[in-house]
Structure formats: C-alpha cells, structure tokens
Structure 1
Amino acid sequence: MTAKSDQVSRAPHRNIRLLTIAQALGGANSPIVISLGGLVGQHLSPDPKLETLPVSLLNLGLAVGTVPAAFIMRRYGRRQGYLLGAVIALLAGLIATLGIVRHSFAIFCAGTCLAGFYSSYVQSYRFAAADNPTGAASQKAIARVMVGGLVAAIIGPQLVIWTRDALPGHAFAGSFLSQGVLAMMAFPVLLMLRPPAERSHGTAQPAANRALRDILLTPRYMLAIATGVVSYGLMTFVMTASPIAMVGHGHSVDRAALGIQWHILAMYGPSFLTGRLMARFGKEKVAATGLLLIGASAVVALSGLDIAHFWGALVLLGVGWNFGFLGATAMVADCHTPSERNKVQGANDFLVFGTVATASFFSGALLHSSGWATINWVVLPAVSLVLVPLLWRSAAAIGRLNSCWQGQLCQRDL
C-alpha cells in the first residue's frame, strides 16, 4: 500500500502540472487565429464584409464542438478525448495553411472552424483539474491550470512573429503550420495524464446521475451558467470591438495591438491569486467582484476616448473576466456528481461559448451602426442582471460553504 498509495496521492498534482503545460501549448491556438484571421481574410475574402469570418468561425467551432467533445470524453475518458483534440488541431493547422497556399478562402475558413473544435477540448482542461480535488483545493487547481493561458498569450503572438514568413510567398502560412506543431508538442504531455481515482469508486453507494434537463433547472447551476455567459460574452463583445474603436478614434494600430496585449495579460495574470481568493472569500464573491470590474471597465470606457481610457478599460475587463469566469467555473464544478461531470460541463461550455460566438458576430455590426459608447452601455444592464442574484447567493452561502460539497452533492441546496 505504501508505494502504490503514494503514487495515487501524487496523481492529481501531477495531472494539474501536465494540464497547465497542455493549456500553455493548446491555449496558443486561439491567439494565432484571432491575431491573423482578419488579416488573412482581407487577402482571401471575396467580400470585404466577410473579412472577420475566419475569427467568428473559430468561436462558432468552439461552441458547436463542446457537445461532441463532452460525449467523447464521457464515453472514452478525458485523456483519449484530449489526444483526439490534438489530432484535430494538427489537421486544422494543415488545412488553414493549405487555404493560404491555394488562395482559397473557403479552405482557410474550414481550418479556423476546425481550430475551434480543438479549443472546445482545451477549454475543458480547467474542469479536468478539479476532477480529484474538492472544495478549496478544487478552486486552486482550476486557477493553476489557467495560469497556462498566460504563457499561451505570450507563445501565440511570438509564433506569429517568428513564423509568418516561414513559407516564402505565402504570408502567415507558417504561423498556421506552427499551430499544428504546438498541438503535436502537447500530445506526449497529454499521454502522461492519468484517469481520476474516483472512477473506481461506487460499490458502497451509487452516484447520482440525474437527467441534464433536471440539472439545468437547478438554481445553482443556472446562476453558474449565467455568470460564465455574462463574464465571457461581455469580454468578447467589448474586446472584439476595441481595436476597431481605437483606430477609428485616431489611435495607431500599434497602440491598439498593445492595448489588446495588456488585456490578454490581465485576463490570465491574476490566475496566480484567483484560486487563493476563492478559497478565502468564496467563489461567488470572487465572481461578483469580476462582474463589478467588468462594469467598471465600461464606466472607464464611457468617460473618454484617450488611449488611457481604452487601455484602462481593457485591463479592468481582463481582470474582471478572470475573476468572473474562474468563479463561474468553480461554481459549475460544485453542481454535479462525478458521473454527471461531462454532460454538465459540456452543456455549460456550449451555452457559454455559443454566447461568445454570437457576441463576436454582432459586436462589429453594432459598433459600426451605433458606435463605441453603445457597446459599453450594453455592458451595464447585462452585469446588473446577474450581479444581484450572485450577491444574494454569496451572502446566503456563507454558512454552507464547507457542508454543501464534502464528497457528496447537497441536493437540498440545488
């Protein structure tokens, strides 16, 4: 029992380290497409209105891919699903590269959409970190894996710079080829993952396995989804419009790009502390703070059009997303039993990233039709809609944080 039990006890910590590395490699997938999708679209698109379609299809692929990804992981296990995701990423990079080489907008769009399918697997790494730990340890594990996103935010843009001219005569083709290379680098890392120990449990007491419809109607799960939808949806909604608005109000493209870089760093940088904050103050309070920061970013953006207003708003938006989205993730992790895990997490990601895809499609249109101020005025009522029940839930949960999830789901509280 000594050597074997010691190995089992170390497995969760080992998995968290591996998932953090995989997040750093896989998380660079989206920044590459977001950075270059519109630029490549300008050269390949037959219609100027379709220039940003490759980026929107990335978000659409992410939303659509969550359901089959959840099914595959439930049927075959997380590791097998993640390995399949890495293969999909390799194909996505090759197809997008082929689209550039052949000057085919349709092929290139197919590649970016397929990259979204890969992102649906990468997004579930944060949930996989919470498979073994419970309570505060689970919240810290989620935040630790998201630290890999900070590394990804650096790797993605740097790869664009290093590889954009790797294939002479085909600008940016090398960058999308490197997208597939990153996925192959993640492959051996994912191979070392071990399934959670809880798979072997269940002889003494069968785990609950409710219908997804019943879970969706529980107040706690509804609030967790709403928090994730508002946090991620508003972040995408504002971030998509920000570079266009900055350039449109007289700021340079370089300053706009720098603002987005600071925004991405603000998105992932707080992950070093978010887990500890959730353990100390509660996930609902941290999520509520995130929504308040997103609202504050809109107030800053509405207060002026100087570069300081744009950058300040983007930094607040990034930190707010981190607190809101990681808080929502921890809330979802408390809403299911191990046997319900994949379908509950898949449904959450489908709703969250479906909203993200919709936000990315409509953000630019609203900016052109109504202006930058309207974009930010939309933020305030959306934040208020979720913030009120979240604050109420946070106050009501103070006396139950340690009793509601101690190896079993507290059905009464749902």
Structure 2
Amino acid sequence: MLLIGTVLSVFLPRAVARFGYRPPFYLGALMVGTGFLGGQVPCTLYYRLAALQFSTQEFSSKAIAIVIAGGCLSALLGPEIAKHTVNALSKPYSGAYLTTLCECAMLMFILTIIQFPSPRKTHNTHITSSLSTITGDNISINGRSIFVIAGQRTFLIAALGGFVSWSAMAIQMAAAPLAMTGSGYNFVQVTTAVECHLLGMYAPSFFTGSL
C-alpha cells in the first residue's frame, strides 16, 4: 500500500495545477492508512518546489535549501518522539502511529493559514520565460506533454540521478534497522542510527543552496 500510494503521487503536479496547492497537500497530510502515508511522502517533498512561488528567482536555490534543511529538525525530533511513544499503548508502535496522526493534523492547520499563490499564474510565467530555451513545434503556453519531457536528455539525467541516489538511500534505511534488530540492538539504538542517517541526508542543505 505504501508503494501504491507513492506511485499514484505521480499525478501530484497535475493536481496542483488544477486545484492549487492546498487541496493536494491536505490529501497528503491525511493518515487514514498506509496508502495515504505513501502519498504523504511525495507531498512533503513537493514543499521545496512550492517554496519557489514565495521567493525571487535569485533566491530560489536558497529557498529550496532552507526547506530541505528543515529536515534536520525532523531528524532530531522524529526518532526521539518514536523512542517515547513506541510502547505508550498496549500494542507496540500504535502510540508512535497515533503521534504521527497528531503531527499530520498540525500540518493541516499550518497549511490552512498559509496563503499559497495561484499555481496557474506562476506556471504560465515559468513557461513563458523558458520558451526561448526550448525548441519544437509541440510546445504551447499550456505546457509540455509528459512524453515530450520524458524524451529530453535533461530529464533522463535527472531521473537517473534520482533513481540511483534514492535507491542507495532506501537500501540503507530499510536494511540497516532490520539488520541491527536482528543483531540484538534495541529500539533506542536503532532509532539513533536512523537519526544520524537523516542528519547526513539533510545537513548539507545548509550550504548546497550557495554552491
């Protein structure tokens, strides 16, 4: 279900273009089941792109870096919260899941008070400003077909880089906790290792925006 929810998030950009930022982000913040959890992850990753709508073109790279750097706070708080809530209820991990529900409720409240700009206006602005660097008769002011985008070398390089980096991350994050548990490490030690892993992921964001 987690995988299905993640795969379905491929339609997230179209949903943002059609309904604006708030409704898709609301849906991503819901935690009805594991499938919605799979949809939540891409929505949170999309926040860094939404930050571009609030920044100037010169500040765009730093805006993305600042949003991603917020993951450092999550890397510190998330595992610590899990340590104190994993056995809070009679069934293991149910307390941590309920805590995640509360966090998503807080997220929905924050999304309510944020004044998101219209994605249609910013979308047309980006399309117009980039027409000079795009060639082909199948480009219109309404955007490019997904098949046109998928055939571009720039997209293929980015997709390959994302595939390799995320695969390496997923293998470590998924296998390491299981291996540590099987080797006799307790839950606190496992979450500490995950905490260090997350810090290693997000800490570089403090300076990558200036590169």
**TM-score (norm. length: structure 1):** 0.42
Deviation at 1:275, TM superposition (A): 0.9
Unaligned stretches of 5+ in structure 1? Answer: 1-56, 92-110, 278-414
2:9 equivalent to 1:66: yes
1:133-282 alignment to 2 at 5 Å?
A: 133=55, 135-167=57-89, 169-196=90-117, 199-200=120-121, 207=141, 209-245=143-179, 252-253=185-186, 256-277=190-211
CA distance in structure 2 between the partners assigned to 1:218 and 1:63 by the alignment: 24
1:66–1:120 Cα contact (<8 Å) kept: yes
CA distance in structure 2 between the partners assigned to 1:225 and 1:136 by the alignment: 25
2:10 equivalent to 1:84: no
Q: Secondary structure at the match of 1:171?
A: coil
1:61–1:114 Cα contact (<8 Å) kept: no
Q: Specify whether residues 260 and 162 from structure 1 end up closer, same or farther in structure 2 by C-alpha distance, changes over 3 A only.
A: closer
CA distance in structure 2 between the partners assigned to 1:255 and 1:214 by the alignment: 47
Q: Which amino acid aligns with 1:188?
A: F
**TM-score (norm. length: structure 2):** 0.78
Deviation at 1:237, TM superposition (A): 1.7
Deviation at 1:208, TM superposition (A): 5.4
Instruction: Look up the match of 1:395.
Output: none
RMSD: 2.8
Instruction: Look up the match of 1:128.
Output: 50
Q: Which amino acid aligns with 1:269?
A: A
1:73-112 alignment to 2 at 5 Å?
A: 73-86=16-29, 88-89=30-31, 91=32, 111-112=33-34
CA distance in structure 2 between the partners assigned to 1:135 and 1:200 by the alignment: 15
Structure scoring higher RCO (CA < 8 A, sep ≥ 6) equals 2
Q: Identity across aligned pairs (percent)?
A: 32
CA distance in structure 2 between the partners assigned to 1:72 and 1:209 by the alignment: 14
Q: Specify whether residues 130 and 262 from structure 1 end up closer, same or farther in structure 2 by C-alpha distance, changes over 3 A only.
A: same
2:38 is aligned, of 99, 116, 121, to 116
1:65–1:120 Cα contact (<8 Å) kept: no
CA distance in structure 2 between the partners assigned to 1:240 and 1:83 by the alignment: 27
CA distance in structure 2 between the partners assigned to 1:233 and 1:136 by the alignment: 31
Higher helix share: 1
The number of equivalent residue pairs is 196
CA distance in structure 1 between the partners assigned to 2:192 and 2:54 by the alignment: 39
Q: Larger C-alpha radius of gyration, 1 or 2?
A: 1
Which range moves more in the overlay, 150-159 or 138-147?
A: 150-159
CA distance in structure 2 between the partners assigned to 1:194 and 1:77 by the alignment: 11
Q: Specify whether residues 207 and 132 from structure 1 end up closer, same or farther in structure 2 by C-alpha distance, changes over 3 A only.
A: farther
Deviations 1:186-245 (A, max 9, x none): 122111223336744769x67351111011111111111111111111111233223444
Q: Secondary structure at the match of 2:53?
A: coil
Q: Specify whether residues 124 and 200 from structure 1 end up closer, same or farther in structure 2 by C-alpha distance, changes over 3 A only.
A: closer
